[in-house]
Each structure stands twice: as structure tokens, then as C-alpha cells.
Amino acid sequence: MKRLLEWQIATVTSIHQETPRAKTFTLQLPNWMEHKAGQHYDVRLTAPDGYQAQRSYSIASEPERSGEIDLTVERIQDGEVSTYMHDVLIVGDQIEVRGPIGGYFVWEAAMTDPVLLIAGGSGVVPLMAMIRHRAAAGSKTPARLLYSSRTPQDVIYSAELDRLQGSQNGLGIFLTYTRRQPTGWSGFARRIDVPMLREVAGPLGNSTQAYVCGPTRMVEAVADGLLQIGLPPNQIRTERFGPTGGI
């Protein structure tokens, strides 16, 4: 596994608008390498005078899809790389990337403990790679996703999550809307709190492996809450997303 990661020039083969602020970019890689769900790639942009900017973006696709990856990128208002990707990049363009990177916030289908995935906003991206990997590998490991969004239109992968919810494959999906709920909504309508964690995590049991990804304040609160409901710290993995996470 010890090797140097090299930059490579990927080709954009598809761009999909997920929400008003999030797009998924499918990149074809000349030197594709199987990743682990939860890992990320670095993206590097170079201006004609040599000026460069780099950012990290989580892989959304499952490792079973060879030769290409999906990166889902939220457009940050004052951003540099995310705004370029959203506003300039088109299908057929080339873009420099390096990866896969990261060895801790990862889940593999060979892991058999129940999995609790908790996302805030675009923090769902690396968790979606885990969900897709779980489905592609035919894993029966009990898994639950608790996903907090501001409004229904902010839910990334909404249609796919609906399909997975109904597919009876042992994945439970729980959404909470913190600002505006769909009409007739009877589910959670608040920020993730301890009673919500108890309700969603409880049935998974004590050996649950938790993955929490989102904005810092949300991640801090959820990680503290998971400790409160009795999950040991070494079963809680965290990753930060959002403007202050360096997107």
C-alpha cells in the first residue's frame, strides 16, 4: 500500500445537478485505483501563469465502479475551486486530480458490525459512497442513515435514497429537516439531538460503528450525543464538511 500518489488528468464525462448548490462530476481516470468508501480526492487547478489552487472532495461513488469516480461538490459562495467546478467546468473538460486519500473515515463491506451513518448537508457524500458500496457488495450488515438537511430541496441523492429505502435490503433511512419540511411530513423536524440519536441508533446495538460527517458544530454535537447514549469513542469516526472545513 506504500506508494506515492501521483497527479493525473481526468476527463469530465458527466455533470449532474443534485440540488441548487450541489453537483456531481463523473471523472474518467487514466490511472484509476480502487478506493475505499469514505476516501477523497484532491483537485488541483492551474492558471496560465502557474498559480494553483487545491481542495479535497469526497468520493460519492462505490469502489465497484472501475475506471471512474463521482465527486459531489457543494458550491461555496466565496469559494475558489468549487465555484470553478460549478460555473466553468463542462463535460469534456480535463481536470487534475490525485487520490484516493484517507485511511480512517472508511467503511468496507468486510466490516460486519452494524453501521450508523450520520450526515449534515453535503456531509452525506462520503456516506453515500458507503451506502452504494454496501449495496454493490450485497452486504447484509444492518445500516442506518440519519441525514439532516435544511429543506427538502437540499437533500442530495434524494431519488436514490427513496429507492434504497424501499428496497428491503436492511438499510434504514431517517431524514430530518431543520428549517422547512415537506407538506404532511411526520418525521423528524429538528436538529439532531440525543433523543433522536437514541431512537435511530438504539436498535443497532452496542457494537455499532458510527460515521459522522457534516459541518463542525453538527459533528461536535452528534459525536458528544453518541458518547452520551453510550457508544465508545473508538467506535465514532468523524469528518468535517462545510465552508470552514476547507471546501
What is the x/- site pattern for another protein, positions 64-93, by CB under 8 A? ----------------x---x---x----x
Q: Where in 141-170 is the site for another protein (CB under 8 A)?
A: none
- Residue 98 contacts residue 192 (beta carbons within 8 Å): no
Binds another protein (CB under 8 A): choice among 95, 116, 146, 161: 95
Q: Three-class SS of residue 131? A: helix
Binds another protein (CB under 8 A): choice among 153, 202, 227, 230: 227
Nearer to another protein, 82 or 178 (CB): 82
Q: What's the distance, Cα to Cα, between the start and end of the chain in Å?
A: 27
Binds another protein (CB under 8 A): choice among 2, 77, 110, 138: 2
Binds another protein (CB under 8 A): choice among 28, 158, 181, 216: 216
Q: Where in 105-144 is the site for another protein (CB under 8 A)?
A: 105
Nearer to another protein, 124 or 218 (CB): 218
Per DSSP (E only), the strands in the chain are 8-19, 22-28, 40-46, 52-58, 68-74, 94-101, 115-120, 143-149, 171-177, 209-214, 236-240
Q: Which stretch binds another protein (CB under 8 A): 4-12, 110-118, 135-143, 168-176?
A: 4-12
Nearer to another protein, 171 or 200 (CB): 200
Closest alpha carbon to 94 in 23, 25, 6: 25
Query: How many residues of this chain bind another protein (CB under 8 A)?
Result: 48
Asked if residue 220 binds another protein (CB under 8 A), the reply is yes
Asked if residue 52 binds another protein (CB under 8 A), the reply is yes
The Cα 63–Cα 97 span in angstroms is 17
Relative to beta strand 236-240, strand 209-214 is parallel
Query: Which grid coordinates are listed for 102?
Result: 484517507
Block residue for cell numbers 429538528: 190
Asked if residue 226 binds another protein (CB under 8 A), the reply is yes
Question: Largest alpha-carbon pair distance within the chain?
Answer: 57
The Cα 136–Cα 247 span in angstroms is 28
Sites of contact with another protein (CB under 8 A): 2-9, 44-48, 51-56, 80, 84, 88, 93-96, 101-105, 216, 219-220, 223-224, 226-227, 233-234, 236-238, 240, 243-246
